[in-house]
A and B are shown apart, each in its own frame.
Chain A
Amino acid sequence: MSEERTGLIDRHVAFVGALRGAGLPVSMVESIDAVQAMTVIDLLDREQLRTAYAAACVKRAPHRATFDRLFDLWWPPAIGDGVAGDEFSEDGEGTSASGELQDVPPADLDAMKQMLRQQLRDVLLSGDDEALRRLARASVNGLGRTESQPGRQSWFTYRVLRALSPETLMVDLLKAVLEGEEQGGLAEKVARQMLGERIKRFEEYVEAEVRRRLAEDRGVENIQKTAVKPLIEQVDFLRASKDEIAELRRRVYPLARRLATRLTAKRRLGRSGRLDVRRTVRASLSSGGVPLTTIHRPHKPHKPELVVLCDVSGSVAAFAHFTVLLAYALREQFAKVRVFAFVDTCDEVTRFFEHGGDVADALARMAKEADVVWFDGHSDYGHSFEVFGQKWPDAVTPKTSLLILGDARTNYRALSIPALRSAVRHARHAYWLNPEPRQYWGSGDSAAFSYSDVVPMIECRNAAQLEEFVEGLLPV
């Protein structure tokens, strides 16, 4: 009994260590809470254990994905092939030694593929989550294994997904779901969304299963580093995948709301407004004419105009888009927002972000219609700054905060420092946000240091850094 308990506590401590290693702030108290929770729940129910850990240790919703991955690694749902049920075998090896699949002749492998594909189709149609999970395990077991060296096996997600290619089932599935209803209408869109969701879930299960098998072969410690993705607000703008960018865009509005709330709170605290005599006297009547509390007029915040000048060339477009979206989500905080985009020449794109307009649309139209390419479509900061100064000389005024977004990679072209300097001189504040890590500034064709002599340049690699910057920029 006591020995068993030590084992559990050791596992717990190691797991909490792994959570901390992945950037989740798990305090001592929370770790103890989790153990306390273990004493009252049914430990054999894995999902209860997961919920207990999540409730005690994960206090921010964005951390949940990381937590789930690590939980699956440290408290695996099965050992080996998982065919022996969820029993934990003594040495942890046991069932995984069976290597009969390599001996299966290719014809049978094909037959297995066919069989699994057929099963996958049925399960995707029924939407049974448990069956989907079981199928993922069986598929990885059957198709995901390779013998990298004699006696050493490895597991691959892409082998399973390529063999089964769930997307190619879509047409067939759609036909089955729609049951002869017309294609292309609302019904198809809805069905497509539902099936797409299930396919994605299957892919996730396969990935999780592969991670589990790898962790079993090589040890959890060696897998968790690669298994854990960085938190979304820490994702590097320049290296973000398509999914991550979509996720970032979805978070623009919550982020803007959070910034605005924080700002209102800060403004209210600075009670620098003038005394409101009328209301103070009125309030004093209820305390016999003694003004117990004084009432102040709300402080009118100074609202700057914001001019954003952004590089929308391929390399930094994701960063520029995100920042422009954020500026627009925050437009109530500014008197006016104007956006200029450039690649090798400059154009005003404010019109695409009209009030209430749709953001995804605006970005697509901006890329298509705005006149930002003049010569060859490679970034030309110098020419862009000159065009900006000539065409819109009155855009930057003493009320303006000027924000320049770009990586300052000039393709070795002219810098036009004077043009930039004149814009900066006219502005009330000017900042340059650079999505590149600071240690790369000035390397190769980067003119970061030349420009940073003229305008303060700030490293802004991820959403967290951007949030911090914007909060400082907004006036109190």
Chain B
Amino acid sequence: MPLFSSPQDVRERLGQTGYLADDAIATTVFLADALEKPLLVEGPAGTGKTELAKAVTEAASAALVRLQCYEGLDEARALYEWNYRKQLLRIQAAGDGQKWEETHDDIFSEEFLLARPLLTAIRRAEPTVLLVDETDKADVEVEGLLLEVLSDFQVTVPELGTITATQKPFVVLTSNATRELSEALKRRCLFLHMDYPDAERERQIVLTRVPEVPEKLAEELVRTVRTLRALELKKGPSIAESIDWARTLVALGADSLDERVVAQTLGVVLKHASDHARAAKELGLAQ
């Protein structure tokens, strides 16, 4: 059963959770839900990719199952694992009286299965959002694993048989594009590139996330952040950093962004010393 009825519906319900989606985001989320396809969200760090999954979870009153990817993530961490310590205990506790067949059937039962995120998400009967975070950090083999799970929404455990999803979870994969994901994986997903938002939307995001900030200050802040992004920097400020900046300015009690205030707080938005120096020079700030 679809979670949303139209892009407009997506937009409104995400808005209620405090996530301001633009038309492209709302439409793509709606399509991913309507076509029951996984949604691959790619974009620079700090543009709200993970937040989107959380907002969808909240809007659809579903539960979030999260698989955080990292180098060296394997089947045992992503899919399922047999609790072999417990199995060992079980074998030792059985003593000599029990036949091997009985023990064998017993130790490969539900009780000894450790379900990891992918299996958990597939077995849940309630509405579920499966978030595969930072997919690009995982190894190529994990992509192969994801392919199987995401195309058929089923998992085969040799000892137990095939487990098929009764309700397909809404799948969100995020990626920072540190490497290209495989064509096969991309083909199975709908793709959403999430870039820095336009000025108006960013202003609204800042105002929603930091309600204490005066409107005029928020507008100045967004414009300054956009100016910084246009410079040739190693890492331009993301939305998360705009929000941090707004919080900092509120905490400092600043009511407008002049040279002095920017120079004092630039460290909140720019995290490289060379970027800092460059911005100070380009914007004509005192060092």
Contact B178 A356 (CB under 8 A): no
The answer to whether A265 and B71 touch (CB under 8 A), given A52-B31, A185-B259, A356-B273, is yes
Contact B178 A184 (CB under 8 A): no
Contact B274 A51 (CB under 8 A): no
Contact B191 A58 (CB under 8 A): yes
Residues from chain B with Cβ under 8 Å of A54 in the complex: 24, 191, 193
Residues from chain A with Cβ under 8 Å of B227 in the complex: 189-190, 193-194
Q: How far, in Å, is B71 (CB) from chain A's closest CB?
A: 7
Residues from chain A with Cβ under 8 Å of B230 in the complex: 193, 197
Contact B179 A52 (CB under 8 A): no
Contact B24 A261 (CB under 8 A): no
Residues from chain B with Cβ under 8 Å of A59 in the complex: 40, 183, 186-187, 189, 191
Per the CB 8 Å criterion, the residue count for chain B at the interface is 60
Interface residues of A in 233-291 (CB under 8 A from B): 246, 249-250, 253-254, 257-258, 261-262, 264-265, 268, 286-288
CA distance A241 to B122 in the complex (A): 51
Residues from chain A with Cβ under 8 Å of B251 in the complex: none
Contact A25 B183 (CB under 8 A): yes
Q: How far, in Å, is B247 (CB) from chain A's closest CB?
A: 20
Q: How far, in Å, is B173 (CB) from chain A's closest CB?
A: 12
Instruction: Determine whether B224 belongs to the interface, using a CB cutoff of 8 Å to chain A.
Output: yes
Interface residue range, chain A: 35 or more
Contact B37 A64 (CB under 8 A): no
Q: Of all chain A residues, which has the CB nearest B84? A: A287
Contact B199 A194 (CB under 8 A): yes
Instruction: Determine whether B23 belongs to the interface, using a CB cutoff of 8 Å to chain A.
Output: yes
CA distance A275 to B57 in the complex (A): 45
CA distance A361 to B280 in the complex (A): 13
The answer to whether A40 and B31 touch (CB under 8 A), given A189-B227, A254-B177, is yes
CA distance A127 to B203 in the complex (A): 14
Question: Which of A26-34, A372-380, A424-432 binds B?
Answer: A26-34
Cβ 8 A contact of B277, one of A30, A64, A185, A358:
A358
Contact A41 B31 (CB under 8 A): yes
CA distance A250 to B232 in the complex (A): 7
Interface residues of B in 247-287 (CB under 8 A from A): 257-259, 262, 272-274, 277-278, 282-285
Interface residues of B in 1-54 (CB under 8 A from A): 6-7, 23-24, 27-28, 30-32, 34-35, 37, 40, 42-43
Residues from chain A with Cβ under 8 Å of B7 in the complex: 41-42, 48
Residues from chain A with Cβ under 8 Å of B71 in the complex: 264-265, 268
Q: How far, in Å, is B278 (CB) from chain A's closest CB?
A: 5
Residues from chain A with Cβ under 8 Å of B226 in the complex: 193-194, 197
Cβ 8 A contact of B190, one of A33, A357, A359, A360:
A33
Contact A253 B177 (CB under 8 A): no
CA distance A261 to B140 in the complex (A): 12
Contact A257 B283 (CB under 8 A): no
Residues from chain B with Cβ under 8 Å of A197 in the complex: 226, 230
The answer to whether A186 and B262 touch (CB under 8 A), given A51-B28, A265-B71, A286-B85, is yes
Residues from chain A with Cβ under 8 Å of B28 in the complex: 51, 55
Contact A190 B220 (CB under 8 A): yes
Cβ 8 A contact of A357, one of B140, B177, B187, B274:
B274
**C-beta contact mask, A12-37 vs B, less than 8 Å → 1, else 0?**
00000000000001010110010011
The answer to whether A48 and B178 touch (CB under 8 A), given A58-B191, A194-B226, A357-B274, is no
The answer to whether A33 and B37 touch (CB under 8 A), given A52-B27, A358-B278, is yes
Q: How far, in Å, is B238 (CB) from chain A's closest CB?
A: 14
Instruction: Determine whether B192 belongs to the interface, using a CB cutoff of 8 Å to chain A.
Output: yes
CA distance A36 to B28 in the complex (A): 13
Contact B139 A265 (CB under 8 A): yes
Interface residues of A in 56-81 (CB under 8 A from B): 56, 58-61, 64
Residues from chain A with Cβ under 8 Å of B273 in the complex: 356
Q: Of all chain A residues, which has the CB nearest B32? A: A55
Instruction: Determine whether A47 belongs to the interface, using a CB cutoff of 8 Å to chain B.
Output: yes
Residues from chain B with Cβ under 8 Å of A257 in the complex: 178
Residues from chain B with Cβ under 8 Å of A288 in the complex: 88
The answer to whether A55 and B285 touch (CB under 8 A), given A40-B34, A193-B230, A254-B177, is no
Contact A190 B223 (CB under 8 A): yes
Contact A262 B186 (CB under 8 A): no
Cβ 8 A contact of A249, one of B31, B32, B42, B232:
B232
Contact A55 B140 (CB under 8 A): no
The answer to whether A185 and B278 touch (CB under 8 A), given A61-B193, A194-B199, A258-B179, is no
Contact B278 A193 (CB under 8 A): no
Contact A64 B31 (CB under 8 A): no
**C-beta contact mask, B52-64 vs A, less than 8 Å → 1, else 0?**
0000000000000
Please name 10 pairs of A and B residues whose Cβ atoms are closer than 8 Å in the assembled complex, sorted by A.
A30-B187, A48-B27, A51-B24, A55-B191, A58-B191, A193-B227, A253-B234, A262-B179, A356-B272, A356-B274
Known: A40-B30, A55-B32, A360-B232. 5 other contacts (CB 8 A): A55-B31, A261-B178, A265-B71, A265-B140, A358-B277
Which residues of chain B have a CB within 8 Å of any CB of chain A? Answer: 6-7, 23-24, 27-28, 30-32, 34-35, 37, 40, 42-43, 71-72, 84-85, 88, 136, 139-140, 177-180, 183, 186-193, 195, 199, 220, 223-224, 226-227, 230, 232, 234-235, 257-259, 262, 272-274, 277-278, 282-285
